[in-house]
Copies of this chain bind each other. A is one copy, B any other.
Amino acid sequence: MTDVVLKDLPYARLHDEWNELEIEDKLKRFQELSTADAEEFFRELDGNEEAEILIALPTRDQRLWMRVLDPDDAADVIQKIPEEDRVHFLELLDESTRTEVSALMAYDEDQAGGLMSPRYARVRPDMTVDEALLYLRKQALEQVETVYLVYVLDSQQRLLGVVSVRRLFSSSSHLKVSDVMRTNVIKTSEDADQEYLSRLFQEHNLLAIPVVDSNGKMKGIVTIDDIVDVVEEEATEDIQKMGGSEALGDPYLKIALPEMIKKRGGWLFVLFLGELLTANAMGYFEDEISKAVILALFLPLIISSGGNAGSQASTLVVRAMALDEVKLRDWWKVMQREIIVGSSMGIILGVVGYFRVIWWEAAFHTYGQHAHLIGIVVGLSLVGIVLWGSVSGSILPFVLRRVGFDPASASTPFVATLVDVTGVVLYFSIASVILKGTLL
C-alpha cells in the first residue's frame, strides 16, 4: 500500500496519458522520469502494464525494476509475461525474493493466496507495548505491506492475534502485547475465493485480512487496496457475461481480435442455435400466417417486449445474487414479486397495444373488419409475454446457480432468446383461439 502520493509531477501526468501511448513512447517517457518518480510510477502500474515495460527494457534495467516490486506484485507480473520468458524474469530476483515469488505463483490469481503479500509486520506476544512500537519502527524501514496492523506470532509462526498500531498507541507502555492483542481474528485460508474475501472486507470494514494455512501458520496478508480491484474486476466479469459474451479478461482495446471474436462468437453462435427454434416454431404456424399476414406484423413487437421484461428481471436478480442480497432460498419471494411486477407492466403494455391496433384501424383502415379481435390478441399476448418474460428471467439465475453454473450466464440475450421462442408459440396459440372462425 502506498501511503501518500505527490501530484502535478511528471509521473502523475504520465498516468493520464499512458493508455494512449505506443510502447516505444512509453519506454521513452518512462526513462525520462527521475529515479524516484519512475519508481513510484512503476509501482502504481498494474501487472499488465508493468509486464509490457519490463519486456521492452534492456536486461540490465529489467533486473533493477523487477527488484523494485513487492513479492506479490512480482508474482503477478511474471504471470503476465509469456511463459517462455518467465524463468528469465524470476532469475533476476534475489534468492529469498525468488523463493517467495515462486511460492505465490502456485496460487490462483483469484484466491487469497494469489492476492496476499508475504511481508507483514510481526511481533512476539511477550513484548511490551513500547518494545513492540520500537520493533515496529525497525520494520517500517523494510518492505512490509503495511505497518498499521501487527500480527502476533509464536515461535512456530502460528497466528496468535492481531494488534493495531492505533491500539498500541493508545495502550499503556508497560502492558504486554498479549494483553492488548485481539485473539479471535477474522482470517482466511490460502484457497479462499476473492469474492468471499471482498464480502469479508466490506462486512467488517477491514484494512487487512491475514491468510493462514491449515495448521494456523501465518502465510501473508491481503490488504484492502487489492480488494478495490477485485470488486471492480468481478463486476466487469459479471457485466460482460450479462451482455451475452464471455468475460474478456483484458481491456477492450487491448484484447487481440481473434480472441475477442472467439469470446463473443461462441455465445452468439449458441444463441443463434436457440433462435433457430423460432423458425421451427413459426413453421408450425405457417398456415395461420398465410391466412392472416397481419399477425406477422406484430410478432417482433410482442416477442421483443417479452425479451425486454426478461432482461430487466434477470439483470436485477443476477446482481442481487452477486451482492448476496438474494439467496437461493429466496426464489419464491422473487417469483412472487415478479408475478406482481410482470403482470402490472404487462397490463399497461397490453392496453396500449390494444388501442394502437384500434386507433390505427380507425385512422388508416389497414387491418380490416376484425381489427378489434386482432387488438385483443395483441393485448392479451403482451400481458402474457411480459409476465412470462419477468418470471422466466428472474428464475433462470436461480436454476443456473442451483445446477452449479454462474448465474451471470443468464445474460440478457439468453433470456431474450428463451422468451422469443416461447413467445412465438404463445402469440399464435392465443391467435388461434381468438381468431378461430373469423380470420383463421
- List residues of A whose CB falls within 8 A of some B CB: 1-9, 12, 15, 19, 43-44, 136-137, 140-141, 147-149, 162-167, 169-170, 182, 184-187, 198, 201-207, 224-225, 227-229, 231-232, 235-236, 238-240, 242-245, 248, 251-254, 257, 260-261, 264-265, 267-269, 271-272, 275-276, 278-279, 282-283, 286, 289-290, 293-294, 296-301, 303-305, 307-309, 311-312, 314-320, 323, 325-326, 330, 333-334, 337, 340-341, 344-345, 348-349, 352-353, 356, 366, 386, 411-413, 416-417, 420, 424
Q: Give every chain B residue within 8 A of A43 (Cβ-Cβ).
A: 205
Contact A341 B257 (CB under 8 A): yes
Given contacts A205-B44, A413-B308, contact A320 B261 (CB under 8 A): no
Q: Give every chain B residue within 8 A of A205 (Cβ-Cβ).
A: 1-2, 43-44, 225
Q: Contacts A4-B167, A251-B323, A272-B352 given; 19 further ones with Cβ under 8 A?
A: A2-B205, A4-B185, A5-B182, A137-B169, A205-B225, A236-B323, A242-B315, A243-B311, A243-B316, A252-B316, A264-B341, A268-B312, A269-B348, A271-B304, A278-B304, A279-B297, A286-B294, A290-B293, A296-B296
Given contacts A148-B148, A276-B301, contact A337 B257 (CB under 8 A): yes
> This chain: how many copies in the complex?
2
Contact A170 B137 (CB under 8 A): yes
Contact B420 A304 (CB under 8 A): yes
Contact A265 B345 (CB under 8 A): yes
Q: When the two chains form the complex, which single residue of B243, B286, B297, B319 contacts A314, counting CB atoms closer than 8 Å?
A: B243
